[in-house]
């Protein structure tokens, strides 16, 4: 259980930092983090960090396709967490 918690903390922190890094690079017109990489970080469990980074840095807000993919990943992961909790919680009580 603790391994999963530590993994999720790490991937969400990494994803949040990647969004901040990409925003900073965009302002300086430097080489960017590819959208595909940002979406992969979200898909690997970092979707809360991605949504938070998007809001905090006001980044990738005009990219409709990116937004659809990101929120699709987020909703899928939220549904999975709900199902896991609803199955696991009653057995713990």
User: Taking Cα atoms as reference points, which of 52, 18, 17, 44 lies closest to residue 33?
Assistant: 18
Q: Tell whether the model's pLDDT for residue 47 goes beyond 80.
A: yes
Query: Would you state the torsion angle of the CA atoms of residues 73, 76, 77, 80, taken in this order, to the nearest 10 degrees?
Result: -170
Provide mean pLDDT across the span 33-62: 95
Please report, for the chain, the start and end positions of each structural domain, with discontinuous segments joined by +: 2-92
Q: Where are the alpha helices (DSSP H) in the chain?
A: 2-27, 35-41, 47-57, 64-92
* Cα 49 from Cα 18, distance rounded (Å): 9
Residue 86: predicted pLDDT:
86
The string over 53-62, giving b where at least 16 C-beta atoms fall within 10 Å of a residue's C-beta and e elsewhere, is: bbeebebbee
Q: Tell whether the model's pLDDT for residue 92 goes beyond 70.
A: no
* Cα 54 from Cα 60, distance rounded (Å): 6
Residue 93: predicted pLDDT:
62
| Percent of the chain at pLDDT exceeding 70 | 97
- Of 21-30, 44-53, 65-74, 81-90, least confident by mean pLDDT is 81-90
Q: pLDDT tens-digit profile of 10-32?
A: 999 999 999 999 999 999 999 99
């Amino acid at each position: 259980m603790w391994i999963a918690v530590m993994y999720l903390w790490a991937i969400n922190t990494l994803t949040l930092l990647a969004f901040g890094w990409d925003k900073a690079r965009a302002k300086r017109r430097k080489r960017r983090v590819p959208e595909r990489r940002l979406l992969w970080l979200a898909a690997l469990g970092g979707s809360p960090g991605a949504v938070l980074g998007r809001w905090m840095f006001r980044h990738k807000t005009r990219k409709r396709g990116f937004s659809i993919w990101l929120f699709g990943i987020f909703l899928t992961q939220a549904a999975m967490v709900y199902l896991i909790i609803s199955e696991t919680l009653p057995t713990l009580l």
